[in-house]
């Protein structure tokens, strides 16, 4: 009986700890978007200013940890406004072609390597997932990224891109950051709720 009670107390203490951790999760409502949404920030990450008009929210890993960022971009495409959600769902339910994705990403980044592609879901909408690495030239030298990008489309003609990954001054540094933050990186897109 004592062992049972002891196990129950340990489990109960763990349950309290878990509730405390969830309570600390930062739920952010975003209204400056063609469709409002909410997102749960990665634990202890800090909200940053967005850098483009289509970028709706951005978070960065806390200082003193491997550098990483997650962002949500929502672009309006007026030519897609009349398309029904079923059309978007059909297109987005197909995993992207790795060669085509490498070609598309190579128009913006250097050293693109696709590790995998697949089907995913954002707030119940079918989505396409790409797990990749890239680099980009900066005035201070090449900056490397290692992470994921998840894309979906919703009415009225909106394309959502959620990117989350680690960054570094070398591929090794970016990969190390990705390994460190992998749980948060993979969880981020699953915590977006489109309203």
Q: How confident is the model at residue 14 (pLDDT cuts 50, 70, 90)?
A: very low
How confident is the model over 175-181, as a mean pLDDT? 98
Q: How confident is the model at residue 24 (pLDDT cuts 50, 70, 90)?
A: low
Q: How confident is the model at residue 140 (pLDDT cuts 50, 70, 90)?
A: confident
Q: How confident is the model at residue 161 (pLDDT cuts 50, 70, 90)?
A: very high
In this structure, the number of other CB atoms found within 10 A of the CB of residue 53 comes to: 8
The CATH architecture to which 26-194 belongs is 3-Layer(aba) Sandwich (3.40)
* Least confidently predicted of 7-11, 54-58, 145-149, 167-171: 7-11
pLDDT of residue 21: 38
The token pair at 158 is 């909106």
| Nearest-angstrom CA–CA distance, 93 and 119 | 6
**Could you state, in order of their start, the residue ranges of all structural domains in the chain?**
26-194
Do the Cβ atoms of 69 and 49 come closer than 8 Å? Answer: no
Q: Helix H segments across the chain? A: 2-24, 85-92, 98-106, 171-187
pLDDT digits (tens, 9 = 90+) for 50-102: 888 899 999 999 999 999 999 999 999 999 999 999 999 999 999 999 999 99
């Amino acid at each position: 009986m004592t062992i049972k009670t002891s196990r129950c107390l340990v489990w109960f203490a763990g349950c309290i700890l878990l509730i405390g951790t969830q309570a600390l999760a930062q739920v952010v409502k975003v209204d400056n978007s063609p469709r409002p949404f909410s997102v749960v920030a990665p634990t202890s990450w800090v909200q940053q200013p967005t850098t483009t008009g289509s970028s709706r929210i951005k978070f960065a890993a806390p200082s003193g940890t491997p550098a990483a960022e997650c962002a949500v971009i929502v672009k309006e495409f007026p030519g897609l406004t009349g398309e029904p959600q079923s059309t978007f769902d059909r297109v987005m339910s197909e995993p992207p072609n790795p060669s085509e994705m490498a070609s598309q990403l190579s128009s913006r980044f250097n050293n693109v390597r696709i590790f995998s592609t697949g089907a995913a879901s954002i707030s119940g909408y079918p989505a396409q997932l790409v797990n990749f690495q890239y680099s980009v030239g900066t005035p201070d030298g090449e900056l490397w990224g290692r992470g994921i990008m998840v894309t979906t489309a919703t009415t009225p003609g909106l394309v959502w891109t959620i990117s989350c990954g680690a960054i570094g001054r070398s591929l090794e540094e970016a990969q190390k950051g990705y390994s460190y933050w992998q749980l948060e990186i993979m969880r981020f897109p699953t915590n977006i709720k489109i309203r």
